[in-house]
Structure 1
Amino acid sequence: MYLKNIHLYAFRNYREQWVEFSTKKTILLGNNAQGKSNLLEAIELLATLKSHRTNRDHDLILEGSTTGQIIATIERTYGKSDLGITLRSPGRRSLMLNHENLRRHLDFLGHLNAVEFSCLDLDLVRGSPDIRRNWLDTLLVQLEPVYAHILHEYYQVLRQRNALLKAMGKNNHVPEKTPNLSPEISQLKLWDKQLAETGSRVIRRRNRVIERLTPLAQNWHTNISGGTEIIEINYLPNVIVNSDEIIEVQQAFLEKIEQRRIVEQQLGTTVVGPHRDDVEFNINKTPAKSYGSQGQQRTLVLALKLAELQLIEDVIGEPPLLLLDDVLAELDPNRQNQLLEVIKGRFQTLITTTYLHSFDSQWLDAAQIMKVENGKIYSF
């Protein structure tokens, strides 16, 4: 998999920028706030249709413009693809594949795969559960693009169910006195069934990907730490099940909804489902979030990212792109060497940095070095 070129139009601080990638290693050199991370963000959008920095397309468009665009050419073993995203404010984004408009996001996903590693990824360990859920979902979308549709269906049902619970609260329903066959309760039970059906599909896929990722991450972590530490990765589903059978997962889901029904009606929101899942990281049986040092947390995240690269390559049959956003400065020399050694010529890699001293002469000789300054990219 190789990103040949990318064209940015009114994206972030780029008015118009064309970049041709001539080697598998690209170093983006520049001071902070010049646009290095913005270029990686554009590639992330092509891979996942999501940005880890914002949920609003308005934020992605150059100030003063109403439309922004990302266009790229990808080469894979099965041939070449031209990808395009048009962002609008106001309005909905549109997607193109080989110059044809697409109606479904599902048809766009999977043509480019990328793993991004930034200094913000330390929040995977020490941040809130929603950060870990987003990380897990982003990985799943790349492994199985249909998961984006599954997740979208679940959150649609969740929003509808929450709206009904909120309306029931405004109507002063007293759960204990509400007849079981009231129209509101009957409608809620229909949403219960849909929530269990869509939520079970999310739970099963999250559980499976953690099972596949964990041994890979453990192996990388052992190599980086010299075997002095053992990590554990535990999926903590809100609905706990002891089976991967879809019927049994749905049944456990419905039973927990029934147990929490009064609480949900009192709060006016859904408290059961994968929107409340978490992932737990332990180092030597100790929670990494609470007790891990910064060095231990960095090693853990580095092992996770290397495991992501390996898993995507195993599943899709081609190495994904690796996007490193100002992380070398965060890693000590040993971890830097581990990371750069893994990359070699295996992955097309884009690295942002403010200095070149982290790279040895072999790396610099093999890399395409570009200077990024005030929304402009130049050959260095």
Structure 2
Amino acid sequence: MYLKTLNLRQFRNYQDQKVEFTAAKTILVGNNAQGKSNLLEAVELLATLRSHRMTRDRDLVQEGEAIAQINATLERQTGISDLTLTLRRNGRRSVALNGESIRRQMDFLGVLNAVQFSSLDLELVRGGPEGRRNWLDTLLIQLEPVYAHILQQYNHVLRQRNAFLKSHVEMLDATSLHSELAVWDAQLATTGTRVIRRRDRAIQRLAPIASAWHASISGSTEVLQIKYVPNIPLEDSRPEEVQQAFLAKIQLRAIAEMHQGTTLVGPHRDEVELTINQTPARQYGSQGQQRTLVLALKLAELQLIEEVVEEPPLLLLDDVLAELDLSRQNQLLDAIQDRFQTLITTTHLGSFDSQWLKSSQILFVKAGEIIQQ
């Protein structure tokens, strides 16, 4: 797939900026806080309807404006698509494909595929489980767009159940509380099981690919293992078995949930374990080794999405080359070649060899304006 044009209106610090991409690799050069990352974020939003930097649409709309719009033209083997995402300061976002409004947003997902790799991704190893869950969910949305709907359903039930627990935390009549909670328990187990099974399947597919990349980058001196550790014991992945295990664990934690007024059981408490040579990666070795792990994960994402959608996704490299030493930079750049359309942000061109610069489109970014070299 190839991103031909991107038009940003009132998005972040861009007033009205159109970019035409003319090479497989585009390097965006500029000082910090000029808008380089904002452009990559716009592409990420078109691919996943998520931003790893912001949770509220209002933060993406330019100050003093009511709406922001991202428009792109994408070429795929099946033809050319025109994508539009409209973000509102006060109101719901909307999406359109080839000029037609789309009611269900999950029908917009899967048109553009992209893998984002930023310096923030180094927190995947060092940070808490929530970051790893978000990373896995964002990958899953691209592999299976229906997953966005499944996750939304689960989160909706979780919020409702938490609100119920919170409002009844002082309740003395435990019997009637249990009978009302049973309705939420059943819904939580049904929606949660769908999340768990898909996460488990995705990690099973991703883990061997990531391990192979990791062995290649580390010169086979280290063994990477990725393990999905659901909050529910997963001895059998059949839906009815997972649901039974889910409900049994809810029963076990019932008293604690009543006291704390929150849901303690479910995929919102899952973990993705990353180990190197059987040692937890966050405790293992240097920052360099942790960066090798994240690089292997990102290359595995690219490969897995390409296998599933049968076209190479876009690669968005946000200020990440400066975080990698020369050897890891070369591993990454060699893996990319011209196979993936790549957008790279950097503060200077010193990290690139002359061949790369010759074959790349170079754009300079300053205060929300883009200038072709």
Do the structures match in fold with TM over 0.5?
Answer: yes
TM-score, reference length from structure 1: 0.97
1:278 Cα deviation (Å)? 1.0
- Structure 2 residue corresponding to 1:267, chosen from 260, 269, 286: 260
Measure the CA separation in 2 of the matches of 1:276 and 1:28. 38
| Corresponding position of 1:10 | 10
Q: CA deviation at 1:81?
A: 0.7
Give the aligned residue type for 2:141.
V
RMSD over equivalenced CA pairs, Å = 0.8
Residue 72 (str. 1) matches residue 65 (str. 2): no
Task: Please list, as runs of the form range in 1=range in 2, the aligned pairs for 1:1-380 lying within 5 A after superposition.
Answer: 1-169=1-169, 172-174=170-172, 178-179=174-175, 182=176, 184-380=177-373
CA displacement at 1:56 relative to structure 2: 0.4
Residue-by-residue CA offset, 1:304-359 (whole Å, 9 max, x unaligned):
00000000000000000000001111111110100000111100000001111111
CA distance in 1, matches of 2:236, 2:218: 34
Return the alpha-carbon distance in structure 2 between the equivalents of residues 249 and 108 of structure 1. Answer: 30
- Distance in 2 (CA, whole Å) between partners of 1:208 and 1:333 is 34
Q: 3-state DSSP class of the match of 1:345?
A: coil
Q: State the 1:291 CA deviation.
A: 2.7
- Residue by residue over 1:134-185, the C-alpha shift from the partner in whole angstroms, topping out at 9 and shown as x without a partner, is 000000000000000000000111111111111111xx224xx622xx2x32
Residues in 2 aligned to 1:106 and 1:54: alpha-carbon distance in whole angstroms: 20
SS of 1:17 mapped into structure 2: strand
Displacement of 1:102 after TM fit?
1.0
Q: Give the letter for the 1:42 counterpart.
A: A
Unaligned runs of 5+ in 1: none
Letter of the 1:346 partner, please give it: R
Q: Secondary structure at the match of 2:338?
A: coil
Identical residues among aligned pairs (%):
65
Stretches of 4+ aligned residues off by more than 2 angstroms = none
8 Å contact kept, 1:86–1:95: yes
* Gaps in structure 2 of 5+ consecutive residues: none
Equivalent residues, number = 373
Give the aligned residue type for 2:226.
I
Counterpart of 1:112 in structure 2: which amino acid? L
Q: Quick one: distance in 2 between partners of 1:207 and 1:349?
A: 29
Partner amino acid, structure 2, of 1:370: L
Contact 1:325–1:353 under 8 Å retained in 2: yes
The residue type equivalent to 2:165 in the other structure is: L
Residues 283, 292 of structure 1: 8 Å contact kept: no
When normalised by structure 2's length, the TM-score is 0.99
